[in-house]
C-alpha cells in the first residue's frame, strides 16, 4: 500500500518539477474522498537547498526520514551528468538511499532529468527508462545498460518509474497512484489539479521537427519542397530541380540532411499540419490537402506513427481556444 512518500531535495533541482511532486503527494485530499499521504521532503544535508532558479528551499529532514518510505521521488535536477564537472557529483548517501529503496521493493520515481540520478545509483541497469527528449541521447550514452525510450511520457519497469519532461511528471506520479490505490484515487487528484487523469501519446508530439539549414547545398530544392507541400514530389522531379541525376540527388540529400527526400518531406508536411492545427480553424480534410497528405485518414496515420497522437487530439491540446473548455485527455 502506498502511504509514505519521500521527495529528495537536490542542489540545482527544478522548482516546477519539485512542485509537481509536492502537489500530487503532499496535499491532504481526504475531505473530498481522495488520498492522504505521509509526505516528507528530505535532503542529504538539511538546510537551505539552492534551486536551479537561484532561490533556496529550506529542508529540515535528513535522509533517515525516507528509510521506510513506500515511494522515493527524485525531481528534475541539473547535476554533473548534464552540466559537466563543475557541478558536484551525487551525494553517496542519496545513492545508497535509492539502492536500499529499490532493494526492499519500494517505488522509485524520477521526473525529467532526475533519471540521471537513478542511473548513477545503478537502478536503470537492465531496465527501460526515459527522460526529457533533450537528454535521452545523453542518458543512453551515460548509462548504456538501460534501454532509453525517447517517445513516451513515462516508463515503469519493476517499480522504477522514469518520467519525461516537466508535466510528464504528473502523468508518472498519477500512474503510481493508480497502480497502488486505483483509478478513482488517481482521478480524484487529477480532478483537483485540473489535469487529465491519463494522457495518451508520447513526448515526441512536443518535439519540434527540424527544417533544412539555409547554408546546405540542398537549400534551393528544400525551399521549393516547402513551398509546394501540397504537390506530388517524386525523387526524379526533385533531382531535376537540383540539376542532378536521381541517384546522385538521393545520395547527396541523405548525406546532408540525414534522411531520404521522402522522409524529410513527410516530416515537413507533419510540421506544417501541426502549425495549422495550432493556429487555424481549418477542417482536417483541408489541412490534409494543403499539406500534401491528401486525406484526413492519411494525415492521421502519420500523426499516430510519428507523434503517437491524432490530429484531433493534437488540436484539442494545442489549438486555438474559442473560449474556456475543460482539459481532456488525448484520444
255-291: pLDDT as tens digits: 887 788 998 899 889 888 988 988 889 999 999 999 9
Q: Is the pLDDT of residue 326 over 70?
A: no
Q: Cβ contacts of residue 220 below 8 Å, gap of 6+?
A: 241, 242
Q: What pTM value is reported for the model?
A: 0.66
The predicted structure's pLDDT at residue 206: 55
Cβ burial of 194 (10 Å; 0-12, 13-18, 19+) is exposed
The pLDDT confidence band at residue 249, using thresholds 50, 70 and 90, is: very high
Q: Is the pLDDT of residue 320 over 90?
A: no
Give per-residue burial for 133-154: e unless 16+ CB within 10 Å, then b: bebbebbbebbeebebbbbbbb
C-alpha grid cell, residue 12:
540545482
Pairing of strands 47-50, 38-42: unpaired
Please write the tens of the pLDDT for every residue from 175-191: 899 889 887 888 889 88
Domain span(s) for CATH 3.40.50.880 in the chain: 4-202
Q: Decide if 31 contacts 43 (C-beta within 8 A).
A: no
Q: Is the pLDDT of residue 329 over 80?
A: no
**% of the chain at pLDDT higher than 90:** 60
User: CA-CA distance, 303 to 262, in Å (whole number)?
Assistant: 16
The pLDDT confidence band at residue 132, using thresholds 50, 70 and 90, is: very high
Q: What CATH architecture applies to the domain 4-202?
A: 3-Layer(aba) Sandwich (3.40)
Task: Report the DSSP beta bridge partners of residue 47.
Answer: 59
77 CB neighbour count, 10 Å cutoff: 28
Nearest Cα to Cα of residue 300 among 265, 273, 329: 273
Q: Decide if 162 contacts 110 (C-beta within 8 A).
A: yes
How many CA within 13 A on the CB side of residue 62?
A: 5
C-alpha grid cell, residue 106:
519500494
* Residues written for the chain: 331
Would you list the DSSP string of 122-137? TTTTTSEE---TTTHH
Please write the tens of the pLDDT for every residue from 82-98: 655 555 678 999 999 99
User: CA-CA distance, 24 to 177, in Å (whole number)?
Assistant: 9
Domain span(s) for CATH 1.10.10.60 in the chain: 208-318
Q: Is the pLDDT of residue 238 over 70?
A: yes
Average pLDDT over the chain, rounded to whole? 87
User: CA-CA distance, 200 to 313, in Å (whole number)?
Assistant: 9
Q: Is the pLDDT of residue 324 over 90?
A: no
Please write the tens of the pLDDT for every residue from 293-319: 999 999 999 999 888 889 998 888 777
The predicted structure's pLDDT at residue 85: 54
Our measurement of the distance from residue 283's CA atom to the centroid of its chain's CA atoms, rounded to an integer in Å, reads 28
3-state secondary structure of 147: strand
CATH class for the domain made up of 208-318: mainly alpha
Choose the weakest-confidence range: 6-10, 90-94, 143-147, 213-217.
213-217
Most confident of 42-51, 168-177, 183-192, 223-232: 42-51
* Torsion angle (degrees, nearest 10) of CA 8, 135, 83, 76: -20
Amino acid at each position: 500500500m502506498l502511504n509514505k512518500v519521500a521527495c529528495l531535495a537536490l542542489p540545482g533541482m527544478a522548482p516546477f518539477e519539485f512542485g509537481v511532486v509536492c502537489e500530487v503527494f503532499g496535499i491532504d485530499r481526504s475531505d473530498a474522498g481522495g488520498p492522504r499521504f505521509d509526505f516528507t521532503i528530505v535532503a542529504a544535508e538539511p538546510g537551505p537547498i539552492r534551486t536551479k532558479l537561484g532561490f533556496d528551499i529550506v529542508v529540515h529532514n535528513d535522509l533517515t526520514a525516507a528509510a521506510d518510505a513506500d515511494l522515493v521521488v527524485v525531481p528534475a535536477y541539473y547535476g554533473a551528468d548534464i552540466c559537466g564537472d563543475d557541478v558536484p557529483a551525487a551525494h553517496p548517501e542519496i545513492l545508497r538511499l535509492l539502492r536500499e529503496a529499490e532493494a526492499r521493493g519500494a517505488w522509485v520515481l524520477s521526473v525529467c532529468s532526475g533519471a540521471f540520478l537513478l542511473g548513477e545509483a545503478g537502478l536503470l541497469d537492465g531496465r527501460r527508462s526515459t527522460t526529457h527528449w533533450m537528454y535521452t541521447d545523453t542518458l543512453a550514452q551515460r548509462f548504456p545498460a538501460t534501454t532509453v525510450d525517447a517517445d513516451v511520457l513515462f516508463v515503469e519497469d519493476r517499480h522504477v518509474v522514469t518520467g519525461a519532461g516537466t508535466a510528464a511528471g504528473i502523468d508518472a506520479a498519477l500512474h503510481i497512484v493508480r497502480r497502488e490505490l486505483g483509478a478513482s484515487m488517481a482521478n480524484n487528484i487529477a480532478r483537483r489539479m485540473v489535469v487529465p487523469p491519463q494522457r495518451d501519446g508520447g513526448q515526441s508530439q512536443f518535439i519540434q521537427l527540424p527544417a533544412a539549414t539555409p547554408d546546405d547545398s540542398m537549400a534551393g530544392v528544400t525551399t521549393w519542397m516547402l513551398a509546394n507541400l501540397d504537390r506530388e514530389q517524386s525523387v526524379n522531379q526533385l533531382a531535376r530541380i537540383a540539376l542532378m541525376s536521381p541517384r546522385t540527388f538521393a545520395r547527396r540529400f541523405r548525406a546532408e540532411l540525414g534522411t531520404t527526400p521522402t522522409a524529410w518531406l513527410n516530416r515537413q508536411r507533419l510540421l506544417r499540419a501541426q502549425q495549422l492545427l495550432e493556429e487555424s480553424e481549418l477542417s482536417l480534410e483541408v489541412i490534409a490537402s494543403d499539406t500534401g497528405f491528401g486525406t484526413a485518414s492519411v494525415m492521421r496515420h502519420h500523426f499516430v506513427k510519428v507523434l503517437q497522437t491524432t490530429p484531433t487530439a493534437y488540436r484539442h491540446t494545442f489549438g486555438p481556444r474559442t473560449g474556456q473548455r475543460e482539459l481532456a485527455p488525448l484520444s
